[in-house]
Structure 1
Amino acid sequence: MIDCCNLTSLSVCVAVVLGIYYWYRRPSKFPPGPRGLPLVGIIPFLGSYPERTVAKWKRIYGSIMSARFGRQDWIVLNDYEAIQQALVREGESFSGRPSIPLFEDLASGHGLALLDYGKSWKLQRKFGLMTLRGFGMGKKGMEERVLEEAAFMNEEIRKQNGKPFSINRTVANTVSNVICGVVFGRRFDYGDPWFTGLLQELDKWFNNPKKTVMFSLLAFMPWLQYVPPGSGMVRELRHDVNYLIDEFEKEVKQHETTFQKDEMRDFIDAFLDEMHKKKDTFTMLQLLHYIRDLFEAGTETTSSTLRWTLLCLIHYSETQNKLYKEIITVLGEDGKPSMSMKDNMPYTYAFIQEVQRFRTLAPFSLPHCTSNDVEVEGFKIPKGTTVVPNIWAVHNDPNLWDEPEKFKPERHLDADGHFVKSNYVIPFSVGPRHCLGEQLAKIELFFFLISMVQCFEFLPEDNILPEIEKGANGTVFTPLEYKIVAKERQF
């Protein structure tokens, strides 16, 4: 008779062997990559900047690699060609959104950013593009709207009287008012309590380093939502999302009471018109989450890029001088810019493109998911596999850029000083799911930068340069809060 102790030991050994086998096994012809530790995978080895760590692994595993995030194998696209192959040439297969509990909890299967690829997403994307264009995005009318908001921004900066201040709130108010004009049909005073309350919620979740790290961990390891401190954060996140949705619903209700079919005032009116036609997927919940997507993306991404821009201005003062010289030469002291001025303002365009490369705002973009079994460069990737493009790796690839760790706007100018648009700077991602607001963001960055530099010289507080290498790194990579001095130019 087998001794009970021996039987127990044998069972444990078999369980351990089976556990190791299942942990390290992978599908046939699956991309190679590290598996890490049971339950947590590679998470403990990623550090504060996972995109940089994973980019180094390219030397071992190649440009298309796998990595176990938590208990799931994700695919990482680690260079430009791999991203183009998957997201552009095989875009139909790589444009889904993965089933991540945290994302599903936030979006409830609605909105646009986290909506899975398919008929509903295509319908909502088409509506969004057509409607935003109809209300000025990418047209002369939007340029005028941005210039108007730039004047309000400069007045807020002027109120600081040359004393050190944090520009976070001012920039967020400015950028958000542009998308608010499109979505809600009006701008808000910078001290408006309703407006301020919404922006405070965004600031909490995008610019607090502790929260951004935990947010990423919850996406990688969903089981953390059931244990502290993850469970507490999820409750807080749900509360804050519900707060935003409730506030947006109040705005929609006001629109409903004054809606006139023959007078489309904004995005909300256009969506309500589709709802009245009883079109599929045009529901109240879809509208509320669509507004949330537009408000969050239309505020945080561009405002964070502008904050990185200001950091670059004060860290590399010679570039600020070159910008100012070009602006004054082309526009004078009070001339107005236009997007048609690319040929006349090459250094300004080069500066903006270098900021977007140098400080990649969305290092991993948003995660994609394969909608069917697909083969790429000899690798077989099953349906339902999560895929992340490492945008940071492209922007810092030494095969594409000379000294990528350095800030050099001149790298985007040719021998004759003309601006050269680079296909390798992809802050808005590529393929079917590239950013809906790309054109609007380009207008804002160009006009706001010119307007600020035209009016002010920006300097560090007490001549001490703030941190530019580190930031709050989650869905987006945002600067740590800093103070700046805006010295009004004397004409």
Structure 2
Amino acid sequence: MECTAAVLLLGLLWALLWLLYDKKSNRRTCRLPPGPLSLPLLGNLPQLDKHAPFKSLLKLSETYGPVMTVHLGWQRAVVLVGYEVVKEALVDQADDFTGRMQLPFLHKATRGYGLGISNGERWRQLRRFTLTTLRDFGMGRKGMEEWIQEESIHMRARMVKNTPFDPTFLLSCSVSNVVCCLVFGQRFNHDDDDFLQLLAIIREMIKFASSPLGQMYNIFPWLTERLPGHQHKVFAHMETVRSFIKLKIQQHKDTLDSSSPRDYIDCFLNRMQQEKHNVSSEFFYDNLVSTVMNLFLAGTETSSSTIRYALSVFIKLPDIQEKMQQEIDAVIGRQRCPTMEDRKSMPFTDAVIHEVQRFLDIVPFSVPHYTLHDVSFRGYAIPKDTIIIPMLHSVLKDKKQWAEPRSFHPQHFLDQNGNFKKNPAFMPFAAGKRACVGESLARMELFIFLVSLLQHFTFSCVGGPDSVDLTPEHSSFVNMPRQHQLIATPR
């Protein structure tokens, strides 16, 4: 009885403290966007589908409008729904929304350094450097396009022919090798045990980050850290990746020729040397380690999953696959490797690849933003330290922007004459100043890999087109394509 009474007393005290806090908070933020009532500590989490929370938020927006306030646990968040609102925030008011939330999982992985979750001068210096290096990468032995072309040849050689197989592993190896060429200046053999372990770790980390347990860690890190569970294995994996990156950096230091940089690490090391006496420089060792980790993690799984989803689309919609192959044969033939220059002459193929990205909608929430100061937006007052969730799902499936948002429809990117047309609501890489830094690389990978595959193979599966389900598998953070056994028939 005494124990029960103590629990009740603590519960009442907790509720009272919450009400006092909420009352004080409401006084300070009376012009916050509207939103549903929230529970003490849990906020609105009980109202969200843990496997597809973006669906729950879309439903809530029907009541509270395109700009609404929710509470994820104790954290206040403003959710932006629809193209017009997301564009207004990320593009028209870009300076107000450049902040990045310090997601606890990413903070633990990077120890607070690097490009991914940085803000202020650190973010500006590292982003400018990374964009320039990616754009101008040709100072080494090969440019990015050549790396991707070479990797596409290795991928085709390892493609299982005329026998059902799961392409997940092969595609992950190929895409990751492009990032490895860019960052480490080398590719790894698909049979390299260390490389295979790293790929398995990356998949495990992303799977955890996208799971309900991973999202619980992001909301209640202080609690999750103290509980037993799978998260501690993932934390150990983080250290394995860091150790690998540190080893590669040391190897680069030992063999560095500052007059002939081979890759991203060499370029960064050169910059470190140039600015070693600049006390305000962000070019130092910890930022190098964590930025390489950012590029390595982000550059592997998203592009390989998108390619895998495209192959499922080709099987599900064989007419589209055939029409793409006809265009490829007419423009490139079957002998030489595709180049990005070919894309201008291949509007249908370009439209299909864009539609694959739109329809998969791989990161429905985007990576959360954060207000670094008080912001005025659409008549509302959004206080400093508020999470901002620009729902990319609501942009890529906006009924006002797409003729058939819930259908796979390449004509979304074609005009009446069959020419490729852009759509400003195409935001799979987000938009504004925090748009994905690897967008140009990802576009190159998707085009060259997919065109190269369709040059040489026709894809099908044992159960036929009707057996393929294009509905992604939802998780708390990402939409992943379903795994299918496919058959690659040489042309």
Would the TM-score normalized by the shorter structure come out above 0.5?
A: yes
Partner of 1:266: 263
Aligned residue number for residue 192 of structure 1: 192
Partner of 1:74, secondary structure, is strand
Matched letter for residue 122 of structure 1: R
Q: Report how far residue 331 of structure 1 moved.
A: 1.6
Q: Whole-Å Cα distance in 2 between the matches of residues 334 and 207 of structure 1?
A: 38
SS of 1:462 mapped into structure 2:
coil
Compute the RMSD of aligned alpha carbons: 2.3
Amino acid of the structure 2 residue aligned with 1:215: G
Q: Which residue of 1 aligns with 2:179?
A: 179
Once residues 311 and 430 of structure 2 are traced to their aligned partners in structure 1, the CA distance between those partners, rounded to angstroms, is: 23
Aligned to 1:202: 202
Q: Partner residue of 1:244?
A: 241
Q: What residue is the counterpart of 2:150 in the other structure?
A: 148
Q: Distance in 1 between matches of 2:356 and 2:153?
A: 23
Q: Which ranges of 4 or more aligned residues in structure 1 deviate by more than 4 Å? A: 9-18
C-alpha distance in structure 2 between counterparts of 1:183 and 1:470, whole Å: 30
- Describe the SS at the equivalent of 2:361: coil
Cα distance change, pair 52–10 in 1 and its aligned pair in 2 (3 A): closer
Q: Which blocks of at least 5 consecutive residues in structure 1 are unaligned?
A: 1-8
Q: What displacement does 1:143 show?
A: 2.0
| 8 Å contact from structure 2 (residues 216, 224) kept in 1 | no
> Which residue identity is paired with 1:361?
I
- Give 3-state SS (helix, strand or coil) of 2:95's partner: coil
Across the two proteins, how many residue pairs are aligned to each other? 474
CA deviation map 1:204-262 (0-9, x unaligned): 23347x9623212322333441454xx42332222111110001111111111111221
Deviation at 1:22, TM superposition (A): 3.8
Distance 1:227 1:36, change over 3 A: farther
> Secondary structure in 1 aligned to 2:71?
strand
- Residue of structure 1 equivalent to 2:314: 313
Q: Report 1:24-39 matches (<5 A).
A: 26=26, 27-39=29-41
* Structure 2 partner of 1:373: 374
Check 1:417–1:100 CA distance in 2 against 1; reply closer, same or farther (3 A cut). closer
Q: Scaled by the length of structure 1, what TM-score is found?
A: 0.91
Q: Which runs of 5+ in 2 are unaligned?
A: 1-7
- CA offsets per residue over residues 48-92 of structure 1, 9 Å max, x none? 111122122222111111111111110111111111221122212
Match of 1:111 in 2: 114
Alpha-carbon distance, 1:479 to partner: 1.9
- Normalized against structure 2, the TM-score is what? 0.91
Change beyond 3 A, Cα 1:283–1:461? farther
Pair 1:348 & 2:345 matched: no
Q: Distance in 1 between matches of 2:303 and 2:370?
A: 26
Are 1:69 and 1:221, in contact at CA under 8 Å, matched by a contact in 2? no
Q: How far does residue 472 in structure 1 lie from its aligned partner after superposition?
A: 4.9
Query: What is the 5 A alignment of 1:95-174?
Result: 95-115=98-118, 117-136=119-138, 141-157=143-159, 160-174=160-174
Cα distance change on mapping 1:281 and 1:11 into 2, 3 Å = closer
Q: Distance in 2 between matches of 1:401 and 1:300?
A: 27
Please tell me whether the aligned partners of residues 52 and 392 of structure 1 are also in contact (alpha carbons under 8 angstroms). no
CA, structure 1 residues 11+103, in 2 after alignment: closer, same or farther (shift >3 Å)? closer
Q: Once the two structures are superposed, what CA deviation does each residue of 1:184-205 show, in whole Å capped at 9, x if it has no partner?
A: 1111111111211111111123
CA distance in 2, matches of 1:10, 1:112: 46
For the residue of structure 2 that corresponds to 1:76, the secondary structure is strand
Contact 1:64/1:77 (8 A) holds in 2: yes
Cα separation, partners in 2 of 1:306 and 1:134, compared to 1, 3 Å: same
Specify the code of the residue in structure 2 equivalent to 1:244.
V
Partner of residue 5, structure 1: none
**In structure 2, C-alpha distance between the alignment counterparts of 1:70 and 1:98, rounded to whole Å:** 15
When residues 256 and 376 of structure 1 are mapped into structure 2, their CA distance, relative to the original with a 3 A threshold, is same
- 1:107–1:289 Cα contact (<8 Å) kept: yes
* d(CA) in 1 for partners of 2:472, 2:347: 29
Q: Does the 8 Å contact 1:472/1:480 carry over to 2? A: no
Identity of aligned residues (%): 35
C-alpha separation between the residues in 2 aligned to 1:486 and 1:14? 64
1:4: which partner in 2? none
- What displacement does 1:10 show? 11
Structure 2: which amino acid aligns with 1:69?
A: L
Q: Which residue in the other structure is 1:222 paired with?
A: 221
Matches within 5 A, 1:324-339: 324-339=325-340
- 1:343 and 1:418 in contact (8 A); partners too: no
